Amino acid sequence: MNGTLARFGRRIAPQLVTLAVVVAMIGIVFPGFFDISIANGRLYGSPIDILNRGAPVALLAIGMTLVIATGGIDLSVGAVMAICGAIAATLIVDGYSLPATLALSLGAGLLCGLWNGLLVAVLGIQPIVATLILMVAGRGIAQLVTEGMIRTFSHHGFASLGSGNLLWLPTPVVIWVCAGILATLVVRRTALGMLIEAVGINRRASMLAGVNARLLIVTVYMVSGLCAAMAGLIVTADIRGADANNAGLFLELDAILAVVVGGTSLLGGHFSLIASLIGAMIIQAINTGILVAGFPPEFNLVIKACIVLAILVLQSPALQGAAMLFSRTKGQP
Amino acid sequence: MFAKTLLGASLLASMTLLSSAALSQTIGFSQIGSESGWRAAETTLTKQEAEKRGIDLKFSDAQQKQENQIKALRSFIAQGVDAILVAPVVATGWDAVLKEAKEAEIPVVLLDRMVDSDKDLYLTAVGSDLVHEGSVAGKWLVDTVAGKDCAVVELQGTTGSSPAIDRKKGFEQAIAGAANIKIIRSQTGDFTRAKGKEVMESFLKAENGGKNICALYAHNDDMAVGAIQAIKEAGLKPGTDILVVSIDAVPDIFQAMAAGEANATVELTPNMAGPAFDALKAYMDNGTVPPKFIQTESKLYTQKDDPAKEYEARKGLGY
């Protein structure tokens, strides 16, 4: 048990260090960063903003990690967010109850995932191509649902999913943390995680060993669709309106980036959900840091790119190998 | 045989006569598409204005493609319409088709956006002056704070887009003479509600919980609507603690104004077709050649202008 814990610590150490460095850097540029107070019955401050604003990418990263672990990729999550948000806003405007609205929207997410999963696992289409279809078409579907306008609503219960509080925290934070814990328990307390990794490392070998790879792959895409649906509900509830053009736009890339920063290989195999979630927080910390630092907006993307580049270079196998070699030669007499 | 031809010819002639008497004017309208609520409202209003004047409007939706627009223009020319309205999706590549229209003696009026072609190739362009919109917003703030110190935060449009550049420029020109007004923070909110809310949250944190901020200037209403939510969640009163001024005049900002949460908006009118039809009528009836650019009014709306009524008037336009 102690050994597993130590191994887990070593696994997420680079991500934790990176997050600490990014947060420290923001603290230097903007000294008021760490001020946390209680306002309107919840914690209030920039660190809380990072946890809150990072919720959509964190949720997407959970599904994306599992998909990537099987050697796949899901480009459609941004569009699925838009679809589910559009459906939820339309249903709530039409007078459906909150549970029915949530169930139908989450169901739509699962259906999108099922579509992707069938294309990949049954028809054998390459994941990047298969999910590209829904990425392009999905936004159009969302626009059809909203009839091309921003669907606004004033349902208090639904809005509180995005801007309400639970346990002194913004609701989205509670949602993604719970989803993260649940997913981790499911994949690590059962053999599921190991089976996913087996499929990712060698699908053929795992099938010969008796793993139902097809079912497993369809399932991870459905989980990804479900996570995207939750993210879509949160952003829709947050602005009290479904913006089919902009909801989740380019977020699939941030989600993939979170998984990569979290140290999971795009080739599939070993994965860590916790590391991906920390990766999502690193990305959001960079975003929030740029906003509070007060740079002109023209610099936003360049700064983000430079920081991400630095992180990935530090994590690159070549540099890690060199560091290991260096520490070994130093250790010898 | 001869009698049959004669009958056919006279029938055809009477039909032509009938149609020209019943339909005074046929005008073709090539719209970009329906990428935004504003665009949808422009389409609705163009149809309404045409109906009001008894014009037979031939509508064509280009779905954001120039090639579709050029095809539509060619088909309008082939049908021999009396005039053409076009909202060009891009600025370049119009020379050939505009020349064809000119040769067919069909006047072309540009709506909302400009083209890079020779000015002789179209009759006139109807549009809004983006710099002027920004300066109307700036002037409202100067008049409202009346000499008191005021720190402004600005939510810009998409970085590098012409509305973002020009609306920023106009606002800065308007407040240049007022030493009491300063822009303390300016960031892009990408014209969206979600980014407007997120960026406003960071402004509030960075400026002492919002206590340093006196006013918000947003380059469009959607970002302002998002920012208003952020201000409320920070425990401040938008419209009172922080003044809110934005541009576009979409229905939702009137709702916010009716609730006292927004203070002013500058209208970017979707009714570009009204002035265009008027100019065409004057040109066709009396030969009056309009100026090359007809600027639409950038009207300022405040809480005094019965925002609830404005909301009701706009909500059905397809925004």
Residue B296 falls in which region: left (phi positive, over 0), alpha (psi -120 to 50) or beta: beta
- Digit-by-digit pLDDT tens for chain A (333 residues) are 567 888 888 888 889 999 999 999 999 988 888 888 887 778 888 899 999 999 999 999 999 999 999 999 999 999 999 999 999 999 999 999 999 999 999 999 999 999 999 999 999 999 999 999 999 999 999 989 988 778 889 899 999 999 888 888 999 999 999 999 999 999 999 999 999 999 999 999 999 999 999 999 999 999 999 999 999 999 999 999 998 888 998 999 999 999 999 999 999 999 999 999 999 999 999 999 988 888 888 888 898 899 889 888 887 888 878 877 777 766 554
How far apart CA A167 and CA A170 sit, in angstroms, is: 8
Shortest distance, CA A146 to any CA of chain B (angstroms): 11
Name chain B contacts of A247, Cβ cutoff 8 Å. 194
- Any idea how long chain B is? 319
Is A288 inside any structural domain?
A: yes
| Residue position matching structure tokens 């209003």 | B45
Query: What does the domain layout of chain B look like in residue ranges?
Result: 20-128+270-288, 130-268+303-317
Domain that holds residue A287: 40-313
Interface of A with B (CB under 8 A): 30, 32, 35, 37, 39-40, 44-46, 49, 53, 148-150, 152, 163, 235, 238-241, 243, 245-247, 288, 291-292, 294, 296-298, 300
Interval B139-166: pLDDT, tens: 999 999 998 999 999 999 988 888 899 9
| Sites in chain B below the pLDDT cut of 50 | 1, 11-23
Q: Could you check whether B20-128+270-288 and B130-268+303-317 share the same CATH topology?
A: yes
Q: Taking CA atoms, what residue in B is nearest to A29?
A: B206
Is A298 inside any structural domain?
A: yes
User: Which whole-number Å values give the CA distances from B5 to B12, B16, B18, in the listed order?
Assistant: 10, 16, 20
* Angle at CA of residue B84, ends B78 and B85, nearest 5°: 145
Helix/strand/coil percent split, chain A, to 5: 75, 5, 20
Helix (H) or strand (E) holding A130: helix A127-146
Cα four-point dihedral sign A172, A175, A179, A182: positive
Is A22 inside any structural domain?
A: no
Q: Tally A–B CB contacts below 8 A.
A: 80
Q: Which residues of B265-287 are buried (b: 16+ CB within 10 A; e: fewer)?
A: bbbbbbbbbbbbbebbbebeeee
Cα atoms in the 13 Å half-sphere on the side-chain side of A103: 5
Check residue B1 and give its pLDDT. 47
Nearest to B187 by CA among B163, B154, B225, B214: B154
Task: State residue B105 phi and psi, 5-degree precision.
Answer: 60, 40
Check residue B17 and give its pLDDT. 43
* Angle at CA of residue B170, ends B166 and B174, nearest 5°: 170
Helix/strand/coil percent split, chain B, to 5: 50, 20, 30
Check residue B22 and give its pLDDT. 42
Shortest distance, CA A204 to any CA of chain B (angstroms): 44
Name chain A contacts of B226, Cβ cutoff 8 Å. 239
Provide the 8-state DSSP code for B238: B
Shortest distance, CA B90 to any CA of chain A (angstroms): 20
DSSP sequence for A193-213? HHHHHHHHH-HHHHHHTT--H
Provide the 8-state DSSP code for A295: -
Name chain A contacts of B203, Cβ cutoff 8 Å. 291
Q: Taking CA atoms, what residue in A is nearest to B318?
A: A149
Shortest distance, CA B86 to any CA of chain A (angstroms): 21
Picking from A288, A296, A297, the nearest residue to B202 by CB comes out as: A288
Show the tokens assigned to A57: 């990418």
**CB A243 to CB B156 under 8 A?**
no
Is A92 inside any structural domain?
A: yes
Is A27 inside any structural domain?
A: no
Check: CB of residue B224 under 8 Å from CB of residue B155. yes
* Angle at CA of residue B153, ends B151 and B158, nearest 5°: 155
Contacts of B91 (CB under 8 A, 6+ apart): B113, B114, B115, B116
Task: Using DSSP bridges, classify how beta strands B83-86 and A241-242 pair: parallel, antiparallel or unpaired.
Answer: unpaired
Chain A contact probe: residue of B61, B193, B207, B248 with most A CBs at under 10 A: B193
Is A229 inside any structural domain?
A: yes
* Angle at CA of residue B235, ends B231 and B237, nearest 5°: 60
How far apart CA A98 and CA A89 sit, in angstroms, is: 11
- Fold classification of B20-128+270-288 (topology level): Rossmann fold (3.40.50)
Is A244 inside any structural domain?
A: yes
How far apart CA B161 and CA B258 sit, in angstroms, is: 30
Residue B250 falls in which region: left (phi positive, over 0), alpha (psi -120 to 50) or beta: beta
**CB B205 to CB A300 under 8 A?**
no
Shortest distance, CA B123 to any CA of chain A (angstroms): 32
Interval B191-210: pLDDT, tens: 899 999 999 999 999 998 89
Helix (H) or strand (E) holding A165: strand A165-166
Picking from B34, B192, B203, the nearest residue to A148 by CB comes out as: B34
**CB B229 to CB A297 under 8 A?**
no
Question: What is the domain count for chain A?
Answer: 1
How far apart CA B268 and CA B248 sit, in angstroms, is: 5
Task: Using DSSP bridges, classify how beta strands B181-188 and A151-152 pair: parallel, antiparallel or unpaired.
Answer: unpaired
Name chain A contacts of B192, Cβ cutoff 8 Å. 243, 246
Shortest distance, CA A322 to any CA of chain B (angstroms): 40
| List of E strands, A79-130 | none
- Which CATH number does the domain housing residue A82 bear? 1.10.3470
- Fold classification of B130-268+303-317 (topology level): Rossmann fold (3.40.50)
Interface of B with A (CB under 8 A): 34-37, 40, 156, 159-160, 185-188, 190, 192-195, 197-199, 201-203, 205-206, 208-209, 222, 225-226, 229, 233-235, 252, 318-319
